[in-house]
Amino acid sequence: MPAVSVEGVEKHFGSTVALAGVDLEVAQGEILGLLGPNGAGKTTLVRVLSTLLPPTAGRARIFGLDVVDEAPEVRRRIGLTGQQAAVDEILTGRENLRMFGELFHLSVAGARRRADELLERFDLVEAADRPARTYSGGMRRRLDLASSLLVRPQLLFLDEPTTGLDPRSRNAIWEVTRELVDEGTTLLLTTQYLEEADQLADRIVVIDHGRLIAEGTGDDLKEQVGGQVVEVLLASAHDRAAAMEALGSAAHPVGEVRVQVGVDGHDALTRVSEVAQALDRAALTVRDLGLRRPTLDDVFLQLTGGPPPGAEPPAAPSPNGQKAAR
């Protein structure tokens, strides 16, 4: 039985179509990354799956339970950490956790004990007795995630869990996330950070305008865009024409000072060397030259026909160190 099974789910708000027919399956223990720009329908889908919104059409089941007809049973199996921290601002961190613990039907003593454990786990002991409204964004998000973990969810929804977070909080959230998955929790993660999806998720589904437009592992998606390229970062935009000429027909510009040459089945190292020699012969100054795989940004650009969302840099340090060249 899949953890999540979605068949033809649509959600309309008046004349606005937020979900235009989504089919999706998530296996138990899987980490699914739901990737898409703002307004793509990610949050709406999460709200439907977490019983907060009934779908306009279609069916969604969590561990075989219908999110509308069997909502109370579904709620016992899920945890939800949303985009805005869903904690009480006036209560302290400790009071929040105790209250949610009681509402998850732990015993009063059990809720107290669990609250203390989580405060410890999420590095909130010092702030435990301050009202949550005095917390920084990162502390609030950690408290929010802790609130989802008072009882162990079989399926956890993380709706843009690291948007706007400092690296420390981000790492803390990633670490806990990985732990949960090791323990068998299924994870549905939404993000507009392409790197985040690539780093955390087993499988990525790309959503845009309420439709799923691509699916696969990070590698699969990159494959769809094309193989490796040699990328050259020129010292000056004036050199671009000269560089293009020197590199021949395999080269194409990808910006003012950036040129890519497809590897196209050649030996990658040979190709790098050829490019380097050609540029050297043309006496061009190069700031950086390297082998590069297409990032999910490129995937996104190609799939949605629009620029990738968010001016902010992706959340993670790039796994193969390409960040320096960009």
Partner 1 sequence: MSTPTSASAPAGTSSGAPTPGPDGGSLYWLVRDTWSVTKRNLRHYVRQPRLLVFSTIQPVMFVLLFSFVFDGVVGVALPGGVSYIDFLLPGILIHSSAFRTTQTAVGLAEDLERGVVDRFRSMPMARSAVLSGRTMADLVRSVAVLLLMIAVGYLIGFRFNQGVLAAIGAIAVVALFGYALSWIFTYIAMVVPGAEAVQAAGFVAIFPLVFASSVFVPVATMPAWMASIVAYNPVTLGADAARVLAIGYLSDDYGSALEPIGWTIVVSAAILAVFVPLAVRRYRRMT
Q: Is 178 in the site for partner 1 (CB under 8 A)?
A: no
Burial of 123 (0-12, 13-18, 19+ CB in 10 A): middle
Length of the chain: 326
Of the listed pieces 87-95, 188-196, 250-258, 303-311, which binds partner 1 according to CB under 8 A?
87-95
**Which pair of structure tokens corresponds to residue 153?**
């969810």
DSSP codes of every residue in 237-253: GGGHHHHHHHHGGGEEE
Q: Which parts of 101-120 interact with partner 1 (CB under 8 A)? A: 101-111, 113-114, 117-118
Cα 112 from Cα 101, distance rounded (Å): 8
Q: Is 78 in the site for partner 1 (CB under 8 A)?
A: yes
Of the listed pieces 97-105, 199-207, 239-247, 274-282, which binds partner 1 according to CB under 8 A?
97-105
Q: Is 82 in the site for partner 1 (CB under 8 A)?
A: yes
Closest CA to 76 of 157, 155, 142: 155
Closest CA to 199 of 19, 325, 33: 33
Cα 275 from Cα 290, distance rounded (Å): 10
The least distance separating partner 1 from the CB of residue 95, rounded to whole angstroms, comes to: 7
Burial of 311 (0-12, 13-18, 19+ CB in 10 A): exposed
**Which pair of structure tokens corresponds to residue 96?**
């929040």
DSSP assigned state of 294: P
User: Toward partner 1, which CB reaches closer, 172 or 214?
Assistant: 172
Residue 32 CB neighbours (<10 A): 24
User: Toward partner 1, which CB reaches closer, 147 or 191?
Assistant: 147
User: Toward partner 1, which CB reaches closer, 49 or 278?
Assistant: 49
- Contact at 8 Å (CB) between 22 and 67? no
The least distance separating partner 1 from the CB of residue 29, rounded to whole angstroms, comes to: 15
Q: Is 55 in the site for partner 1 (CB under 8 A)?
A: no
Q: Which parts of 233-262 interact with partner 1 (CB under 8 A)? A: none
Q: Is 14 in the site for partner 1 (CB under 8 A)?
A: no
Residues 118, 124, 126: CA angle, nearest 5 degrees: 130
C-alpha torsion sign, points 120, 86, 35, 188: positive
Q: Is 100 in the site for partner 1 (CB under 8 A)?
A: yes
Q: Which parts of 125-154 interact with partner 1 (CB under 8 A)? A: 131, 147, 149-152
The least distance separating partner 1 from the CB of residue 162, rounded to whole angstroms, comes to: 17
Q: Is 75 in the site for partner 1 (CB under 8 A)?
A: yes
Q: Is 54 in the site for partner 1 (CB under 8 A)?
A: yes
17, 20, 27, 52: which one binds partner 1 (CB under 8 A): 52
18, 24, 53, 127: which one binds partner 1 (CB under 8 A): 53
- Contact at 8 Å (CB) between 149 and 79? yes
Q: Is 68 in the site for partner 1 (CB under 8 A)?
A: no
Q: Is 80 in the site for partner 1 (CB under 8 A)?
A: yes
Q: Is 60 in the site for partner 1 (CB under 8 A)?
A: no
Give the C-alpha distances (Å, rounded to integers) separating 230 from 28, 254, 265. 39, 12, 12
Closest CA to 145 of 133, 131, 132, 157: 157
Q: Is 73 in the site for partner 1 (CB under 8 A)?
A: yes
Of the listed pieces 73-81, 192-200, 269-277, 299-307, which binds partner 1 according to CB under 8 A?
73-81
Q: Is 99 in the site for partner 1 (CB under 8 A)?
A: yes
Q: Point out which residues bind partner 1 (CB under 8 A).
A: 50-54, 72-73, 75-76, 78, 80, 82, 84-91, 95, 99-111, 113-114, 117-118, 121, 131, 147, 149-152, 176, 179-180, 183
